[in-house]
Chain A
Amino acid sequence: QKEVEQDPGPLSVPEGAIVSLNCTYSNSAFQYFMWYRQYSRKGPELLMYTYSSGNKEDGRFTAQVDKSSKYISLFIRDSQPSDSATYLCAMSISGAGSYQLNFGKGTKLSVIP
């Protein structure tokens, strides 16, 4: 069993919908949580970062961490066709100076105009 599990989708929603993307993990030592966005035929790019538990909001995006349930979420409000991409969660144990990230397999999202 991988340490990070993510539903691969695909997930298809109409434009303007609220999207919820999720990952579960098994290692309670994870403290740093990230979401990457990957457009087709491009490299992943960092989208959101959260330390420990709680929420973080950036425009239409909200990242949520529930360490008690070992569950993280990314919410996208008012979804746009330009949000169509694969979203990967990633997490690590250590802070600055660490180098190992544990990635989920990614969820492919399509936002239909």
Chain B
Amino acid sequence: DAGITQSPRHKVTETGTPVTLRCHQTENHRYMYWYRQDPGHGLRLIHYSYGVKDTDKGEVSDGYSVSRSKTEDFLLTLESATSSQTSVYFCAISDSLGLAGAYDTDTQYFGPGTRLTVL
């Protein structure tokens, strides 16, 4: 899993409670991402980070906040969880494919996911 861990792997919580998911990488990559994956919607970008303390919103950022105080850690917080935030959450990091010239591009490597249920 490209040196990416997510914790917790499973969580059940109640509506209105705060929840923090952690992503940890050992690859020293600059970019980190949080996605949610739901049936019928595929992967949707929540937030991403392009460096320590540098973050930006993705497609579905409402109700979520993020923080990145160290290169290796990217935290996703649901300030007050709702049932609509029941989902599988994936962290990803990106890196170059290491090819020559114009053929090279970045791709994303995903963690194992966190399954969150909000009752």
Total chain A interface residues with beta-carbon distance under 8 A: 26
The residues of B that contact A94 with a CB separation of less than 8 Å are 105
**Considering the complex, which residues of chain A in the window 1-52 have a beta carbon less than 8 Å from any beta carbon of chain B?**
6, 8, 32, 34, 41-46, 49, 51
Of A8, A43, A51, A98, the contact of B106 (CB 8 Å cutoff): A98
Query: CA A44 – CA B1 in complex, angstroms?
Result: 9
Query: CA A35 – CA B28 in complex, angstroms?
Result: 24
Q: Which residue of A lies closest to B112 (CB)?
A: A43
In the complex, which range does the number of interface residues on chain B fall in? 20 to 34
Q: Which of A8, A46, A94, A101 has the most CB of B within 10 A?
A: A101
A23 to chain B, nearest CB (A): 11
**Considering the complex, which residues of chain B in the window 79-119 have a beta carbon less than 8 Å from any beta carbon of chain A?**
90, 92, 94, 96-97, 102-113, 115
- Whether A99 and B94, one on each chain, are in contact in the complex, defined by CB atoms closer than 8 angstroms, is yes
Of B41, B48, B104, B113, the contact of A96 (CB 8 Å cutoff): B104
Q: Which of A6, A32, A92 has the most CB of B within 10 A?
A: A32
Excluding A45-B109, A45-B110, A96-B105, 7 further A-B contacts by CB distance (< 8 Å) are: A42-B113, A43-B113, A46-B109, A88-B43, A95-B104, A99-B48, A99-B50
B residues adjacent to A (C-beta < 8 A): 1, 31, 40-43, 48, 50, 90, 92, 94, 96-97, 102-113, 115
A residues adjacent to B (C-beta < 8 A): 6, 8, 32, 34, 41-46, 49, 51, 88, 90, 92, 94-99, 101, 103-106
